[in-house]
Amino acid sequence: MPRKRFSPEEIIRKSREAEALISQGQTMALVCRSLEVTDQTYYRWRQKYGGMKLDQAKRLKVLEGENKRLKKVVADLSLK
């Protein structure tokens, strides 16, 4: 089965949708099935993106990319 990659915007949208379905009384299994993700994926998303707004998620993505770039620069400099 191919692996799906969701953008932070999609993850936040799906998380809000899941919260709405849970508040309507649906079980977690049905919610995850309607989102087309596993329970484990949903809980991982909730841990990472829980309570975030869209602009905060975009900023997180930018900061993670910058952190990755800086780590690479430090590693290159330490090799020299």
pTM beyond 0.85: the answer is: no
For 7-65, how does the pLDDT look when each residue is reduced to its tens digit (9 = 90+)?
Answer: 888 999 999 999 999 999 999 999 999 999 999 999 999 998 888 888 888 898 899 99
Query: Which 8-state DSSP code applies to residue 36?
Result: T
Q: Check residue 26 and give its pLDDT.
A: 93
Question: How many CA atoms, within 13 angstroms, populate the side-chain half-sphere of residue 76?
Answer: 6
What is the distance between the alpha carbons of residues 18 and 40, in angstroms, rounded to a whole number?
A: 14
Q: Check residue 28 and give its pLDDT.
A: 92
Residue 2's pLDDT band (cuts 50, 70, 90): low
Q: What is the mean pLDDT of residues 62-69?
A: 94
Q: Where are the domains of the chain?
A: 8-79
